[in-house]
Structure 1
Protein backbone atom coordinates (compact mmCIF):
# COMPACT_ATOMS: atom_id res chain seq x y z
CA UNK A 1 0.00 0.00 0.00
CA UNK A 2 1.26 3.50 -0.87
CA UNK A 3 0.22 7.06 -0.14
CA UNK A 4 -1.41 7.20 -3.57
CA UNK A 5 -3.89 4.53 -2.61
CA UNK A 6 -6.27 7.15 -1.23
CA UNK A 7 -9.37 6.13 -3.17
CA UNK A 8 -9.51 2.45 -2.31
CA UNK A 9 -12.84 1.25 -0.94
CA UNK A 10 -12.97 1.06 2.84
CA UNK A 11 -13.37 -2.30 4.54
CA UNK A 12 -13.91 -3.14 8.16
CA UNK A 13 -10.65 -2.95 10.07
CA UNK A 14 -8.74 -1.44 7.15
CA UNK A 15 -5.84 0.84 8.03
CA UNK A 16 -5.90 4.11 6.12
CA UNK A 17 -3.18 6.16 4.49
CA UNK A 18 -2.59 9.73 5.58
CA UNK A 19 -4.10 11.03 2.35
CA UNK A 20 -7.29 9.03 2.79
CA UNK A 21 -7.64 10.13 6.41
CA UNK A 22 -7.13 13.76 5.38
CA UNK A 23 -10.02 13.40 2.92
CA UNK A 24 -12.25 11.76 5.52
CA UNK A 25 -11.77 14.29 8.33
CA UNK A 26 -11.34 17.44 6.24
CA UNK A 27 -7.82 18.53 7.17
CA UNK A 28 -4.67 18.72 5.11
CA UNK A 29 -1.98 16.06 4.94
CA UNK A 30 0.45 18.70 6.22
CA UNK A 31 -1.71 19.12 9.33
CA UNK A 32 -1.72 15.39 10.03
CA UNK A 33 2.05 15.28 9.57
CA UNK A 34 2.36 18.19 12.02
CA UNK A 35 0.15 16.47 14.59
CA UNK A 36 2.23 13.33 14.24
CA UNK A 37 5.43 15.33 14.69
CA UNK A 38 4.27 16.95 17.93
CA UNK A 39 2.82 13.71 19.27
CA UNK A 40 -0.81 14.85 19.18
CA UNK A 41 -2.03 12.08 16.84
CA UNK A 42 0.50 9.44 15.95
CA UNK A 43 -0.63 6.75 13.49
CA UNK A 44 -0.56 3.27 14.93
CA UNK A 45 1.04 1.60 11.93
CA UNK A 46 3.41 1.92 9.01
CA UNK A 47 3.67 0.25 5.63
CA UNK A 48 6.74 -1.79 4.81
CA UNK A 49 8.09 1.33 3.06
CA UNK A 50 7.47 3.57 6.08
CA UNK A 51 4.24 5.36 5.11
CA UNK A 52 1.82 6.25 7.89
CA UNK A 53 -1.25 4.05 8.47
CA UNK A 54 -4.16 5.10 10.68
CA UNK A 55 -6.54 2.67 12.36
CA UNK A 56 -10.05 3.35 13.71
CA UNK A 57 -8.76 4.49 17.11
CA UNK A 58 -6.38 6.95 15.45
CA UNK A 59 -9.21 8.45 13.40
CA UNK A 60 -11.44 8.69 16.48
CA UNK A 61 -8.67 10.63 18.26
CA UNK A 62 -8.43 12.99 15.26
CA UNK A 63 -12.14 13.72 15.54
CA UNK A 64 -11.75 14.50 19.25
CA UNK A 65 -8.88 16.87 18.40
CA UNK A 66 -11.05 18.62 15.81
CA UNK A 67 -13.88 19.18 18.27
CA UNK A 68 -11.56 20.59 20.95
CA UNK A 69 -9.82 22.77 18.36
CA UNK A 70 -13.19 24.10 17.19
CA UNK A 71 -13.82 25.06 20.81
CA UNK A 72 -10.67 27.21 20.73
CA UNK A 73 -8.27 25.04 22.72
CA UNK A 74 -4.57 25.15 21.86
CA UNK A 75 -3.02 21.97 20.48
CA UNK A 76 -0.79 21.53 23.53
CA UNK A 77 -3.81 21.77 25.81
CA UNK A 78 -5.75 19.30 23.66
CA UNK A 79 -2.86 16.85 23.91
CA UNK A 80 -2.83 17.11 27.70
CA UNK A 81 -6.58 16.51 27.87
CA UNK A 82 -6.54 13.51 25.56
CA UNK A 83 -3.56 11.93 27.26
CA UNK A 84 -4.98 12.32 30.77
CA UNK A 85 -5.16 8.70 32.01
CA UNK A 86 -7.92 9.59 34.47
CA UNK A 87 -10.36 10.56 31.69
CA UNK A 88 -11.95 7.85 29.50
CA UNK A 89 -13.30 8.43 25.96
CA UNK A 90 -16.91 8.62 27.18
CA UNK A 91 -15.96 11.40 29.59
CA UNK A 92 -14.26 13.24 26.70
CA UNK A 93 -17.52 13.15 24.77
CA UNK A 94 -19.49 14.46 27.74
CA UNK A 95 -16.95 17.27 28.21
CA UNK A 96 -17.09 18.18 24.54
CA UNK A 97 -20.89 18.26 24.58
CA UNK A 98 -20.90 20.57 27.61
CA UNK A 99 -18.39 22.92 25.98
CA UNK A 100 -20.34 22.97 22.72
CA UNK A 101 -23.58 23.69 24.56
CA UNK A 102 -21.97 26.61 26.37
CA UNK A 103 -20.53 27.97 23.11
CA UNK A 104 -24.00 27.83 21.53
CA UNK A 105 -25.36 29.83 24.47
CA UNK A 106 -22.64 32.46 24.04
CA UNK A 107 -23.29 32.73 20.31
CA UNK A 108 -26.99 33.15 20.94
CA UNK A 109 -26.27 35.92 23.46
CA UNK A 110 -23.95 37.60 20.95
CA UNK A 111 -26.61 37.37 18.23
CA UNK A 112 -29.16 39.03 20.52
CA UNK A 113 -26.66 41.78 21.33
CA UNK A 114 -26.04 42.42 17.64
CA UNK A 115 -29.80 42.62 17.01
CA UNK A 116 -30.07 45.21 19.76
CA UNK A 117 -27.14 47.15 18.34
CA UNK A 118 -28.81 47.20 14.92
CA UNK A 119 -32.01 48.55 16.45
CA UNK A 120 -30.24 51.28 18.42
CA UNK A 121 -27.70 52.38 15.84
CA UNK A 122 -28.67 54.86 13.18
CA UNK A 123 -25.88 54.25 10.73
CA UNK A 124 -26.18 56.30 7.59
CA UNK A 125 -22.59 56.64 6.49
CA UNK A 126 -21.80 54.35 3.60
CA UNK A 127 -18.47 52.93 2.52
CA UNK A 128 -16.26 55.58 0.98
CA UNK A 129 -14.41 53.41 -1.47
CA UNK A 130 -13.42 55.58 -4.40
CA UNK A 131 -11.99 52.89 -6.68
CA UNK A 132 -13.60 51.98 -9.95
CA UNK A 133 -14.40 48.30 -10.60
CA UNK A 134 -11.42 48.14 -12.94
CA UNK A 135 -9.07 49.54 -10.28
CA UNK A 136 -10.47 47.12 -7.69
CA UNK A 137 -9.77 44.17 -10.01
CA UNK A 138 -6.26 45.41 -10.78
CA UNK A 139 -5.32 45.95 -7.13
CA UNK A 140 -7.17 43.16 -5.38
CA UNK A 141 -6.89 40.54 -8.12
CA UNK A 142 -8.92 39.16 -11.00
CA UNK A 143 -11.10 37.14 -8.62
CA UNK A 144 -12.27 40.29 -6.80
CA UNK A 145 -16.06 40.40 -6.75
CA UNK A 146 -17.81 43.74 -5.95
CA UNK A 147 -20.54 41.62 -4.37
CA UNK A 148 -18.14 41.03 -1.47
CA UNK A 149 -18.62 44.68 -0.50
CA UNK A 150 -22.40 44.30 -0.53
CA UNK A 151 -22.17 41.16 1.58
CA UNK A 152 -19.91 42.89 4.10
CA UNK A 153 -22.26 45.88 4.26
CA UNK A 154 -25.21 43.58 4.90
CA UNK A 155 -23.37 41.78 7.68
CA UNK A 156 -21.45 44.60 9.38
CA UNK A 157 -22.99 47.81 8.01
CA UNK A 158 -24.43 48.95 11.34
CA UNK A 159 -21.40 48.26 13.49
CA UNK A 160 -18.83 50.67 14.87
CA UNK A 161 -16.11 48.82 12.95
CA UNK A 162 -17.90 49.54 9.68
CA UNK A 163 -18.20 53.21 10.55
CA UNK A 164 -14.47 53.38 11.34
CA UNK A 165 -13.63 51.60 8.09
CA UNK A 166 -15.77 54.00 6.09
CA UNK A 167 -14.18 57.02 7.77
CA UNK A 168 -10.63 55.75 7.23
CA UNK A 169 -11.37 54.91 3.59
CA UNK A 170 -12.33 58.50 2.83
CA UNK A 171 -9.78 60.09 0.57
CA UNK A 172 -7.82 56.93 -0.17
CA UNK A 173 -6.77 56.69 -3.78
CA UNK A 174 -5.51 53.80 -5.90
CA UNK A 175 -1.93 54.22 -4.63
CA UNK A 176 -3.09 54.03 -1.02
CA UNK A 177 -5.07 50.85 -1.66
CA UNK A 178 -2.16 49.35 -3.58
CA UNK A 179 0.14 49.99 -0.61
CA UNK A 180 -2.37 48.30 1.71
CA UNK A 181 -2.62 45.31 -0.64
CA UNK A 182 1.18 45.06 -0.90
CA UNK A 183 1.47 44.97 2.90
CA UNK A 184 -1.16 42.24 3.13
CA UNK A 185 0.70 40.20 0.50
CA UNK A 186 3.96 40.64 2.41
CA UNK A 187 2.37 39.50 5.68
CA UNK A 188 0.72 36.49 4.08
CA UNK A 189 4.01 35.50 2.42
CA UNK A 190 5.74 35.72 5.80
CA UNK A 191 3.01 33.56 7.34
CA UNK A 192 3.38 30.92 4.62
CA UNK A 193 7.15 30.90 5.11
CA UNK A 194 6.74 30.46 8.87
CA UNK A 195 4.36 27.54 8.32
CA UNK A 196 6.87 25.90 5.99
CA UNK A 197 9.52 26.26 8.70
CA UNK A 198 7.17 24.71 11.30
CA UNK A 199 7.14 27.85 13.46
CA UNK A 200 5.15 26.89 16.55
CA UNK A 201 1.97 28.82 17.39
CA UNK A 202 2.52 30.67 20.65
CA UNK A 203 6.21 31.22 19.98
CA UNK A 204 7.65 34.73 19.92
CA UNK A 205 7.97 34.66 16.14
CA UNK A 206 4.40 33.42 15.65
CA UNK A 207 3.02 36.05 18.02
CA UNK A 208 4.89 38.78 16.13
CA UNK A 209 3.38 37.56 12.87
CA UNK A 210 -0.08 37.56 14.45
CA UNK A 211 0.46 41.19 15.42
CA UNK A 212 1.55 42.04 11.87
CA UNK A 213 -1.59 40.37 10.57
CA UNK A 214 -3.77 42.24 13.08
CA UNK A 215 -2.11 45.52 12.04
CA UNK A 216 -3.30 45.02 8.46
CA UNK A 217 -6.86 44.92 9.81
CA UNK A 218 -6.35 47.86 12.15
CA UNK A 219 -5.67 50.02 9.10
CA UNK A 220 -9.43 49.79 8.54
CA UNK A 221 -10.87 49.66 12.08
CA UNK A 222 -9.71 49.10 15.65
CA UNK A 223 -9.29 45.33 15.84
CA UNK A 224 -8.90 44.02 19.38
CA UNK A 225 -7.35 40.65 20.11
CA UNK A 226 -10.81 39.27 20.79
CA UNK A 227 -12.08 40.54 17.45
CA UNK A 228 -9.01 39.06 15.79
CA UNK A 229 -9.98 35.63 17.15
CA UNK A 230 -13.54 36.04 15.84
CA UNK A 231 -12.16 36.85 12.39
CA UNK A 232 -9.77 33.89 12.58
CA UNK A 233 -12.73 31.54 13.03
CA UNK A 234 -13.97 32.65 9.60
CA UNK A 235 -10.62 31.71 8.08
CA UNK A 236 -11.43 28.04 8.64
CA UNK A 237 -15.25 28.10 8.67
CA UNK A 238 -15.84 30.16 5.50
CA UNK A 239 -14.63 28.17 2.44
CA UNK A 240 -13.67 31.37 0.63
CA UNK A 241 -11.29 32.49 3.38
CA UNK A 242 -9.92 28.97 3.77
CA UNK A 243 -9.28 28.72 0.03
CA UNK A 244 -7.58 32.13 -0.03
CA UNK A 245 -5.04 31.18 2.63
CA UNK A 246 -4.60 27.56 1.59
CA UNK A 247 -3.79 28.65 -1.96
CA UNK A 248 -0.68 30.29 -0.50
CA UNK A 249 0.23 27.19 1.50
CA UNK A 250 -1.66 24.04 2.32
CA UNK A 251 -3.02 24.20 5.86
CA UNK A 252 -2.25 27.92 6.25
CA UNK A 253 -5.82 28.86 7.24
CA UNK A 254 -5.90 26.39 10.13
CA UNK A 255 -2.36 27.24 11.24
CA UNK A 256 -3.06 30.99 11.10
CA UNK A 257 -6.19 30.57 13.21
CA UNK A 258 -4.16 28.73 15.85
CA UNK A 259 -1.44 31.41 15.72
CA UNK A 260 -3.99 34.17 16.23
CA UNK A 261 -5.67 32.29 19.08
CA UNK A 262 -2.38 31.66 20.87
CA UNK A 263 -1.36 35.30 20.49
CA UNK A 264 -4.71 36.38 21.93
CA UNK A 265 -4.20 33.98 24.82
CA UNK A 266 -0.83 35.63 25.49
CA UNK A 267 -2.71 38.93 25.78
CA UNK A 268 -5.18 37.57 28.33
CA UNK A 269 -7.98 36.57 25.94
CA UNK A 270 -9.52 33.10 26.13
CA UNK A 271 -10.12 32.12 22.47
CA UNK A 272 -13.10 29.98 23.48
CA UNK A 273 -14.97 33.01 24.82
CA UNK A 274 -13.59 35.74 22.56
CA UNK A 275 -16.27 38.09 21.24
CA UNK A 276 -16.60 41.01 18.83
CA UNK A 277 -15.76 43.75 21.30
Structure 2
Protein backbone atom coordinates (compact mmCIF):
# COMPACT_ATOMS: atom_id res chain seq x y z
CA UNK A 1 0.00 0.00 0.00
CA UNK A 2 2.85 2.35 0.72
CA UNK A 3 4.23 4.21 -2.29
CA UNK A 4 7.21 6.01 -0.82
CA UNK A 5 7.42 9.44 0.57
CA UNK A 6 7.27 12.79 -1.08
CA UNK A 7 10.49 14.81 -1.00
CA UNK A 8 10.48 17.90 1.22
CA UNK A 9 9.82 21.34 -0.37
CA UNK A 10 12.39 22.47 -2.94
CA UNK A 11 13.86 25.02 -0.58
CA UNK A 12 14.63 22.46 2.05
CA UNK A 13 17.88 21.11 0.63
CA UNK A 14 19.24 21.14 4.14
CA UNK A 15 16.99 18.40 5.50
CA UNK A 16 18.83 15.18 6.46
CA UNK A 17 18.06 11.97 8.28
CA UNK A 18 20.53 10.55 10.80
CA UNK A 19 19.40 9.39 14.24
CA UNK A 20 19.99 11.44 17.36
CA UNK A 21 18.93 11.03 20.99
CA UNK A 22 17.00 7.87 20.03
CA UNK A 23 13.90 10.03 19.36
CA UNK A 24 13.57 11.55 15.89
CA UNK A 25 15.98 11.17 13.01
CA UNK A 26 18.05 14.22 12.09
CA UNK A 27 21.53 15.36 11.16
CA UNK A 28 23.96 14.95 14.06
CA UNK A 29 24.59 17.96 16.24
CA UNK A 30 27.70 20.10 15.87
CA UNK A 31 29.71 18.29 18.49
CA UNK A 32 33.23 17.35 17.30
CA UNK A 33 33.90 13.65 17.24
CA UNK A 34 30.30 12.66 17.87
CA UNK A 35 29.49 9.72 15.55
CA UNK A 36 26.32 9.78 13.48
CA UNK A 37 23.80 7.02 14.10
CA UNK A 38 22.52 4.92 11.16
CA UNK A 39 19.38 5.79 9.26
CA UNK A 40 16.06 4.39 10.36
CA UNK A 41 14.84 1.56 8.16
CA UNK A 42 11.12 1.50 7.32
CA UNK A 43 9.01 -1.40 8.52
CA UNK A 44 6.51 -3.62 6.69
CA UNK A 45 3.50 -2.15 4.89
CA UNK A 46 0.72 -1.15 7.21
CA UNK A 47 -1.68 -3.66 5.60
CA UNK A 48 0.53 -6.54 6.68
CA UNK A 49 -0.13 -5.86 10.36
CA UNK A 50 -3.30 -7.29 11.95
CA UNK A 51 -5.66 -4.75 13.50
CA UNK A 52 -4.84 -4.01 17.13
CA UNK A 53 -7.25 -3.63 20.02
CA UNK A 54 -8.44 -0.15 20.82
CA UNK A 55 -6.32 0.02 23.96
CA UNK A 56 -3.19 0.05 21.81
CA UNK A 57 -4.20 3.37 20.34
CA UNK A 58 -4.01 5.32 23.55
CA UNK A 59 -1.29 7.87 23.99
CA UNK A 60 2.11 6.28 24.40
CA UNK A 61 4.83 8.96 24.39
CA UNK A 62 7.75 7.85 22.31
CA UNK A 63 10.45 8.70 24.83
CA UNK A 64 11.23 10.32 28.14
CA UNK A 65 13.57 12.76 26.34
CA UNK A 66 12.67 16.40 26.89
CA UNK A 67 14.53 19.27 25.21
CA UNK A 68 15.95 21.72 27.76
CA UNK A 69 13.71 24.68 28.51
CA UNK A 70 16.29 27.39 27.91
CA UNK A 71 19.92 27.29 26.91
CA UNK A 72 22.55 29.23 25.03
CA UNK A 73 23.23 28.37 21.40
CA UNK A 74 26.31 26.32 22.08
CA UNK A 75 26.99 22.80 20.79
CA UNK A 76 25.03 20.74 20.27
CA UNK A 77 23.06 23.03 17.95
CA UNK A 78 21.20 21.20 15.20
CA UNK A 79 22.37 21.67 11.67
CA UNK A 80 19.29 19.97 10.25
CA UNK A 81 15.81 19.35 11.64
CA UNK A 82 14.42 16.11 12.92
CA UNK A 83 12.53 14.33 10.17
CA UNK A 84 11.03 11.22 11.71
CA UNK A 85 10.89 9.03 14.77
CA UNK A 86 13.58 6.45 15.36
CA UNK A 87 13.30 3.10 17.10
CA UNK A 88 9.71 3.67 18.19
CA UNK A 89 8.01 0.73 16.48
CA UNK A 90 4.82 1.24 14.47
CA UNK A 91 4.23 4.81 15.60
CA UNK A 92 3.46 7.94 13.63
CA UNK A 93 3.17 11.63 14.42
CA UNK A 94 0.45 13.87 12.99
CA UNK A 95 1.29 17.58 12.83
CA UNK A 96 -0.85 20.60 11.94
CA UNK A 97 0.59 23.99 10.98
CA UNK A 98 -0.50 27.65 10.77
CA UNK A 99 -3.32 27.72 13.35
CA UNK A 100 -5.14 27.93 15.53
CA UNK A 101 -8.16 28.85 13.42
CA UNK A 102 -11.60 28.79 15.07
CA UNK A 103 -13.15 27.64 11.79
CA UNK A 104 -11.11 24.43 11.45
CA UNK A 105 -9.01 23.68 14.53
CA UNK A 106 -12.02 22.65 16.66
CA UNK A 107 -13.00 20.02 14.09
CA UNK A 108 -9.52 18.53 14.13
CA UNK A 109 -9.44 18.56 17.92
CA UNK A 110 -12.82 16.83 17.98
CA UNK A 111 -11.65 13.97 15.75
CA UNK A 112 -8.47 13.50 17.74
CA UNK A 113 -10.51 13.43 20.94
CA UNK A 114 -12.91 10.86 19.47
CA UNK A 115 -10.04 8.43 18.82
CA UNK A 116 -8.11 9.39 21.96
CA UNK A 117 -4.89 10.24 20.17
CA UNK A 118 -2.53 13.22 20.40
CA UNK A 119 -0.96 15.42 17.74
CA UNK A 120 1.40 18.36 17.40
CA UNK A 121 0.17 21.86 16.51
CA UNK A 122 2.75 24.33 15.21
CA UNK A 123 1.03 27.66 15.75
CA UNK A 124 1.68 31.11 14.34
CA UNK A 125 1.84 33.84 16.94
CA UNK A 126 -0.51 36.21 15.11
CA UNK A 127 -3.15 33.46 15.10
CA UNK A 128 -2.43 32.24 18.62
CA UNK A 129 -2.70 35.63 20.26
CA UNK A 130 -6.34 35.95 19.12
CA UNK A 131 -7.26 32.33 19.85
CA UNK A 132 -5.71 31.55 23.20
CA UNK A 133 -8.70 29.45 24.20
CA UNK A 134 -7.80 27.01 21.43
CA UNK A 135 -4.20 26.92 22.67
CA UNK A 136 -5.46 25.96 26.09
CA UNK A 137 -7.78 23.35 24.61
CA UNK A 138 -4.84 21.81 22.74
CA UNK A 139 -2.67 21.67 25.83
CA UNK A 140 -5.47 20.40 28.11
CA UNK A 141 -6.07 17.52 25.68
CA UNK A 142 -2.40 16.50 25.78
CA UNK A 143 -1.41 17.81 22.37
CA UNK A 144 2.01 19.40 21.83
CA UNK A 145 1.96 23.10 20.97
CA UNK A 146 4.97 24.15 18.90
CA UNK A 147 6.30 27.42 17.46
CA UNK A 148 5.73 28.21 13.76
CA UNK A 149 6.94 31.84 13.92
CA UNK A 150 4.76 34.91 14.29
CA UNK A 151 3.76 35.79 10.71
CA UNK A 152 4.90 32.76 8.65
CA UNK A 153 7.79 34.46 6.79
CA UNK A 154 10.48 32.88 4.64
CA UNK A 155 13.20 32.56 7.29
CA UNK A 156 16.32 32.61 5.05
CA UNK A 157 15.35 36.07 3.78
CA UNK A 158 15.30 37.56 7.30
CA UNK A 159 18.19 39.01 9.32
CA UNK A 160 18.90 37.30 12.65
CA UNK A 161 17.11 40.04 14.57
CA UNK A 162 13.87 39.39 12.70
CA UNK A 163 14.17 35.62 13.13
CA UNK A 164 14.61 36.16 16.86
CA UNK A 165 11.53 38.41 16.93
CA UNK A 166 9.40 35.95 14.96
CA UNK A 167 10.29 33.00 17.18
CA UNK A 168 10.57 34.91 20.44
CA UNK A 169 7.20 36.67 20.24
CA UNK A 170 5.43 33.40 19.47
CA UNK A 171 7.15 31.56 22.31
CA UNK A 172 6.14 34.40 24.64
CA UNK A 173 2.46 34.12 23.67
CA UNK A 174 2.52 30.36 24.17
CA UNK A 175 4.25 30.62 27.53
CA UNK A 176 1.94 33.35 28.82
CA UNK A 177 -1.09 31.32 27.77
CA UNK A 178 -0.02 27.82 28.80
CA UNK A 179 2.51 28.54 31.53
CA UNK A 180 5.39 26.84 29.70
CA UNK A 181 7.28 27.78 26.53
CA UNK A 182 7.21 25.58 23.44
CA UNK A 183 9.88 22.88 23.13
CA UNK A 184 9.58 22.38 19.37
CA UNK A 185 9.52 24.69 16.36
CA UNK A 186 9.07 24.40 12.61
CA UNK A 187 10.24 26.81 9.93
CA UNK A 188 7.54 28.07 7.57
CA UNK A 189 7.78 26.36 4.17
CA UNK A 190 10.37 24.04 5.71
CA UNK A 191 13.01 26.69 4.97
CA UNK A 192 15.72 26.63 7.64
CA UNK A 193 19.10 28.32 7.98
CA UNK A 194 21.93 28.42 10.49
CA UNK A 195 20.53 31.42 12.34
CA UNK A 196 17.17 29.71 12.83
CA UNK A 197 18.85 26.68 14.41
CA UNK A 198 20.97 28.84 16.71
CA UNK A 199 18.12 31.11 17.79
CA UNK A 200 15.79 28.16 18.25
CA UNK A 201 18.39 26.56 20.51
CA UNK A 202 18.68 29.75 22.55
CA UNK A 203 14.93 29.61 23.12
CA UNK A 204 15.16 25.98 24.22
CA UNK A 205 13.44 24.50 21.17
CA UNK A 206 14.25 21.60 18.88
CA UNK A 207 13.52 21.76 15.11
CA UNK A 208 11.01 19.32 13.61
CA UNK A 209 10.34 18.90 9.90
CA UNK A 210 8.26 16.09 8.36
CA UNK A 211 8.42 12.89 6.36
CA UNK A 212 5.10 13.01 4.47
CA UNK A 213 3.54 16.21 3.12
CA UNK A 214 -0.20 15.85 2.58
CA UNK A 215 -0.12 19.05 0.50
CA UNK A 216 -3.54 19.82 1.88
CA UNK A 217 -2.79 23.53 1.51
CA UNK A 218 -3.33 23.11 -2.26
CA UNK A 219 -6.94 22.00 -1.54
CA UNK A 220 -6.65 18.92 -3.79
CA UNK A 221 -9.79 17.28 -2.42
CA UNK A 222 -10.44 15.17 0.66
CA UNK A 223 -9.85 11.83 -1.09
CA UNK A 224 -6.46 12.98 -2.42
CA UNK A 225 -5.31 14.08 1.03
CA UNK A 226 -6.42 10.75 2.51
CA UNK A 227 -4.60 8.81 -0.18
CA UNK A 228 -1.37 10.76 0.28
CA UNK A 229 -1.34 10.16 4.04
CA UNK A 230 -2.16 6.45 3.78
CA UNK A 231 0.30 5.87 0.92
CA UNK A 232 3.05 7.57 2.93
CA UNK A 233 2.29 5.83 6.21
CA UNK A 234 5.09 3.87 7.84
CA UNK A 235 6.98 3.40 11.11
CA UNK A 236 8.41 6.69 12.34
CA UNK A 237 6.61 8.88 9.79
CA UNK A 238 5.80 12.52 10.61
CA UNK A 239 2.81 13.80 8.61
CA UNK A 240 2.42 17.47 7.69
CA UNK A 241 -1.10 18.94 7.47
CA UNK A 242 -2.65 22.34 8.19
CA UNK A 243 -5.49 23.67 10.32
CA UNK A 244 -5.31 27.27 9.08
CA UNK A 245 -3.92 29.45 6.30
CA UNK A 246 -6.86 28.97 3.94
CA UNK A 247 -9.93 26.81 3.51
CA UNK A 248 -9.02 23.75 5.56
CA UNK A 249 -12.39 22.01 5.47
CA UNK A 250 -10.82 19.27 3.32
CA UNK A 251 -8.11 18.75 5.94
CA UNK A 252 -10.71 18.38 8.67
CA UNK A 253 -12.71 15.88 6.61
CA UNK A 254 -9.60 13.94 5.56
CA UNK A 255 -8.50 13.41 9.17
CA UNK A 256 -11.86 11.81 9.93
CA UNK A 257 -11.18 9.30 7.13
CA UNK A 258 -7.48 8.45 7.43
CA UNK A 259 -7.12 8.42 11.22
CA UNK A 260 -9.28 5.32 11.79
CA UNK A 261 -7.57 3.69 8.79
CA UNK A 262 -4.15 4.21 10.36
CA UNK A 263 -5.31 2.92 13.71
CA UNK A 264 -6.97 -0.09 12.11
CA UNK A 265 -3.68 -0.90 10.37
CA UNK A 266 -1.94 -1.12 13.74
CA UNK A 267 -0.29 2.29 13.93
CA UNK A 268 -0.07 4.26 17.18
CA UNK A 269 -0.40 8.01 16.79
CA UNK A 270 1.80 9.63 19.39
CA UNK A 271 3.73 12.77 20.30
CA UNK A 272 7.07 13.58 21.95
CA UNK A 273 6.86 13.77 25.74
CA UNK A 274 7.03 17.35 27.03
TM-score in same-fold range (> 0.5): no
Looking at secondary structure, tell me which structure has more helix per residue: 1
**Structure label with greater radius of gyration:** 1
Which protein, 1 or 2, shows the higher relative CO under an 8 Å CA cutoff with sep ≥ 6?
2
TM-score by structure 2 length? 0.31
TM-score by structure 1 length? 0.31
